[in-house]
Amino acid sequence: MYAGHYPAPCSVGETLGPVGLAGKRNARCGELSGRQRRPLDVALVLIGDPELIFLDEPTSGFDPAARQLTWEVIVSLRDLGKTIFLTMYYMEEAERIAVIAAGQIVAGGSAAAARHPGRLGSRLRRGPARPADR
């Protein structure tokens, strides 16, 4: 059903494999566990073969095992050459961070710098000044 919305969709196998649901190809949505439904959401995103993927708090509310599975899925998407834009509260899960204001990156750097707020300003690379700062 979702593939019909795209001019050149990926196959079901191409979308279920990277999210760890290849063995559930013939299962109905209602038969999937709660842990399997979140990867299905990502598979539905992949069916259109996007270059850029936005994921809003992809591990929020997950137990440690489900969080690990989700990160494996995200890494597999990166390995497919996809650009992934994540929002998250768990800074320990981030590799790099960026502060975005008015659609522009105004500061960015490693997430390790963000774990030490007292040194944040000195460790983040400042981007262009925000319009209000000019």
Q: What is the CATH number of the domain that holds 37?
A: 3.40.50.300
Angle of CA points 41, 45, 47, to nearest 5°: 115
109 or 3, which is more confident?
A: 3
Q: Is the pLDDT of residue 130 over 50?
A: no
Domain extent at residue 98: 94-134
Mean pLDDT of all residues in 38-54: 86
pLDDT (0 to 100) of residue 78: 85
**Total structural domains within the chain:** 2
Do residue 47 and residue 72 come from a single domain? yes
**H or E element, residue 19:** none
Do residue 102 and residue 70 come from a single domain? no
Do residue 63 and residue 113 come from a single domain? no
Do residue 59 and residue 82 come from a single domain? yes
Do residue 4 and residue 70 come from a single domain? yes
pLDDT (0 to 100) of residue 126: 46
* Residues composing the chain: 134
pLDDT tens digits, 61-96 = 777 877 787 788 788 888 888 888 888 777 777 777
Do residue 2 and residue 36 come from a single domain? yes
37 or 126, which is more confident?
A: 37
